[in-house]
Structure 1
Amino acid sequence: MDFTQNDNLQKESSFNLFLRKLSNSYQRILDTSTPYKLQRWIFAIVLIILFFFRIITAQGYYVVIYTLGIYLLTQFTLFLSPQLGTLDMDIMEDDMEDEPTLPVNNDDEFKPFIRRLPEFKFWHNTIRATLLAFVCAFIPFFDIPVFWPILLMYFIVITYLSMKKQIDHMIKHKYIPFDFGKKKYNQKVDK
């Protein structure tokens, strides 16, 4: 009788059990942090500031910070975008111009803003990317010698162009992705 195969199955199942417990604990932490939006973002900002201090003290890893910046810019653009994307909305508009249609809505009709990337996922992706960049900032392999002012200028140009495109899209389709300037109605409970 060969018991080694049975032992391997036992080890594999205990490893899978450990991974499942770890995954459940991680999900429980995420679930409990969901209602604390301000505290979550303060934690993210502190983590990014610590990462900047690591880059400043190491005097290197500029490719890592550039990659993190581009990723966070992409995530922020997705956060600002409506679920029906720029290209989709423009294609639908072009299709509607070609064919006669009946009016189906009023211009003053309430249209809820549904984000392409929800706030919690944006925060979660920010934390994960910053932690990964933080780990990469301690690995000498990622300390690629580059002339950092070129990366900085390139990042500024990309940020300007993508934000200009996003703002033009907001103006064209008349939406505001933030809710701090919008009216809030209180519900009155009848007794």
Structure 2
Amino acid sequence: MNGTTAPREGGPPPNPFLPLQRRLQVLLDKSTPHILYRWLALAAVVCMYGVRVFFLQGFYIVTYALGIYILNLLLGFLSPQVNPELEGPTLPSKSDEEFRPFVRRLPEFKFWWSSLKAVLLGFTATFMPMFDVPVFWPILVLYWFILFFVTMKRQIMHMIKYRYVPFSFGKKSYGGKDGKAAKNSK
């Protein structure tokens, strides 16, 4: 008898959602290399959420909470895994020091997956009238922008102080013999 369907004595009951969880994990594993399509799918879901909120003219608290959560995820995405303030600088400050690559506190895939789950949860919340709290939304927008700019200013100052860039475009790329040969063959 299959161990996933039959209850075990003394153990926890079987998980009825296990086949669905496995299917979801397979889909997530297959989507990992398709970065552009994943982010386009997230953008489509965010647009659907925005259209729903626009036509309902409500759920501003849900949108505000969603915006703060995604801002928190963005900070984790832009931050190094090792905080140089606490453990000292890990990036080279002189030309003869060893190079250590930038490692994010929150990897790109987890940033995307957490954002997608949050937007889908917010979208689901728009179907529940108890979350439609009447507020003066321009104050929330203004407060969110102030929070965004203050937080990003602090993060950018941290990047400048410890000299790290969390993005790979615009960085120098060094190639050994293989890199030079590939450039010369073109």
TM range (shorter): 0.7 to 0.9
Runs (5+) with no aligned partner, structure 2? 1-6, 182-186
1:107 and 2:105 are equivalent in the alignment: no
1:75 and 2:73 are equivalent in the alignment: yes
Q: Which amino acid aligns with 1:22?
A: L
In 1, Cα distance between the equivalents of 2:111 and 2:36?
14
In 1, Cα distance between the equivalents of 2:78 and 2:34?
21
In structure 1, what is the equivalent of residue 85 of structure 2? Answer: 90
In 2, Cα distance between the equivalents of 1:91 and 1:33?
36
What SS is found at the alignment partner of 2:135?
A: coil
Q: Which amino acid aligns with 1:53?
A: V
CA deviations 1:3-62 (Å, max 9, x no partner) are xxxxxx59xx9x835311111111001000000000000000111011000100000000
In structure 2, what is the equivalent of residue 168 of structure 1? Answer: 157
In structure 1, what is the equivalent of residue 26 of structure 2? Answer: 28
1:144 and 2:133 are equivalent in the alignment: yes
CA deviations 1:71-107 (Å, max 9, x no partner) are 000000100000013xxx22344xx9xxxxxxxx762
1:57 and 2:29 are equivalent in the alignment: no
1:134 and 2:123 are equivalent in the alignment: yes
In 1, Cα distance between the equivalents of 2:37 and 2:175?
25
Structure 1 runs of 4+ with >6 Å offset: none
In structure 2, what is the equivalent of residue 99 of structure 1? Answer: none
CA deviations 1:85-133 (Å, max 9, x no partner) are 3xxx22344xx9xxxxxxxx76233120000000000000010000000
What SS is found at the alignment partner of 1:184?
A: coil
Aligned pairs, how many?
167
In structure 2, what is the equivalent of residue 42 of structure 1? Answer: 40
In 1, Cα distance between the equivalents of 2:140 and 2:37?
31
1:118 and 2:113 are equivalent in the alignment: no
> Which structure has the greater CA radius of gyration?
1
What SS is found at the alignment partner of 1:16?
A: coil
TM-score by length of 2: 0.82
What SS is found at the alignment partner of 1:179?
A: coil
In 2, Cα distance between the equivalents of 1:179 and 1:92?
24
Q: How many percent of aligned residue pairs carry the same amino acid?
A: 43
In 1, Cα distance between the equivalents of 2:52 and 2:18?
33
What SS is found at the alignment partner of 1:74?
A: helix
The answer to which structure has the higher helix fraction is 1
Higher mean alpha-carbon deviation, 158-167 vs 15-24, is at: 15-24
